[in-house]
Amino acid sequence: MKILHTADLHLKEYGDERWKTLQKLIDIAKKEKVDLFVICGDLFDKEFKAELLRSKIREIFSDNNFKILLLPGNHDKEAYESGFYFGEDVILLNNLNEPFEYKNVVIWGLPFEPIEGEKVLAKLNSLTNKLASNKINILLYHGELLDASFSRKDFGKEGEERYMPVKLSYFNELNIKYVLAGHFHSRFEVWQLENGGYFIYPGSPISITKKEIGRRKVNLFEIGESPKEYSLDTPHFEEITIKLDPFLERDPLEIINESLVNVHHQAKIILTIKGYINSRKIKKNELELTEEIKRFVKNKYLVEELKIEFKDLYKIFEKGLFIKFIKKLEKLPYEEEKKKQMCEILIRAMLEAEL
């Protein structure tokens, strides 16, 4: 039995990148012949977005060969409170006491509520005598795992508020094999439970903010086996830093092109160019090179943000002290990397002396 697990699509508009990502996930579910497609909260960005998109959701959430399980998250919990119809293949898990049974599994849903601490633990403990003893229990959950070393940015734009937090220890006495979670956007993460089970955040399947760096993933696994990452071809952000070397004879644009040419075609690049140039050598000053770089990356690559941090060192390179140092360094039996490090130390010292 196979399950596709994701969360946090934050749908806003029909036909946009997030909508196309959902369509890709449906296609993957069909291709992989999954039994269940699980979305653990925040399918929609807001309640009114669910209202606008519901007719289109019905179309892609019907006539599939698998069931689609939806769990309310903190962004879209109100969307499921009016008994709306989201498609013939949809199972809504908005009541912890009403699980979904399928083949050899029982799937429980812990929908988001603005509660903390003991109240969350009490809800989980209420399952103790209800969990199936002869089947595999799975819990769908949307909230924050306190054991994880997350920063607030890992949860999208949620600010400093706690969202129905849990600890791994809450599951120690529960016969739950998989906790399929949502709310943590940044990356695919897995924790082993003391009872031998797993707690899994798949990360968002599309970058919702620039804080979600790297190729996106979902959890695609067989019941009885460990969670498995499945990489997606969906829009995401990549941070790339290029350090220019003033001693190289090459055109900086060639170096930039080499660094970007193999970036994933769906990546939106956050590009930082730092280091130093020698404008006398490359025949371009800081301004001229900056304008060239802007035109180059705009025409050839999907650069979302460009940070120019390099400095022109031609004045330092022409100083007698620096020229003498380079001549001496060339004669010393150091490896090239060591020589570069020594040059950088002198450059930083001379720059600070000029301030």
**Tokens read off for 178:** 């998989």
**Full-prediction pTM beyond 0.85?**
yes
Is pLDDT at 108 greater than 70 in this prediction?
yes
Average pLDDT in the 18-27 region?
A: 98
The CA distances from residue 27 to 24, 69, 128, 219, 311, in Å, are: 5, 16, 37, 15, 48
Is the predicted pLDDT of residue 193 greater than 90, yes or no?
yes
Identify the structural domains of the chain with CATH numbers, from first to last: 2-231 (3.60.21.10), 236-354 (no CATH)
Chain segment 217-242, per-residue pLDDT in tens: 999 999 999 999 999 999 999 999 99
- Tell which residue, 37, 35, 33, 34, has the closest CA to residue 22: 37
What is the structure's pLDDT at 344? 85
Q: What is the mean pLDDT of the chain?
A: 91
Q: How many whole angstroms separate alpha carbon 110 and alpha carbon 94?
A: 7
* Digit-coded pLDDT (tens) for 136-170: 999 999 999 998 765 555 555 555 567 899 999 99
Q: Are 114 and 164 in contact (CB under 8 A)?
A: yes
Q: Which two tokens stand for residue 10?
A: 């934050």
Per-residue pLDDT tens for 309-340?
A: 999 998 888 888 888 888 888 888 888 888 88
Q: Percentage of the chain with pLDDT > 90?
A: 73
Q: What is the pLDDT of residues 254-299, one digit of tens each?
A: 999 999 999 999 999 999 999 999 999 899 999 999 999 999 999 8
Q: What is the pLDDT of residue 250?
A: 87
Q: Are strands 267-277 and 311-312 parallel, antiparallel or unpaired?
A: parallel
What b/e string do you get for 318-336 counting C-beta neighbours within 10 Å, with b at 16 or more? eeeebeeeeeeeeeeeeee
Query: What type of residue is 210?
Result: K
pLDDT at 159: 52
Q: What is the model's pLDDT at position 249? A: 81
- Strand extents, DSSP E, the chain: 2-6, 36-40, 67-71, 90-92, 100-102, 105-110, 136-142, 178-182, 189-192, 198-201, 217-222, 229-231, 236-244, 267-277, 303-308, 311-312
Strand bridging mode 178-182 / 105-110: unpaired
SS3 state of residue 11: strand
C-alpha span between 108 and 98 (Å, rounded): 7
Query: What pLDDT, on a 0 to 100 scale, did the predictor assign at position 161?
Result: 62
* Pair type for strands 100-102 and 105-110: antiparallel
Reading the block at residue 324, the tokens are 């003498």
Compute the average pLDDT of residues 51-77: 93
In degrees to the nearest 10, what's the CA dihedral of 89, 91, 92, 93? -160
Mean pLDDT on 109-138: 93
Strands 2-6 and 36-40, by their bridges, are: parallel
pLDDT at 48: 83
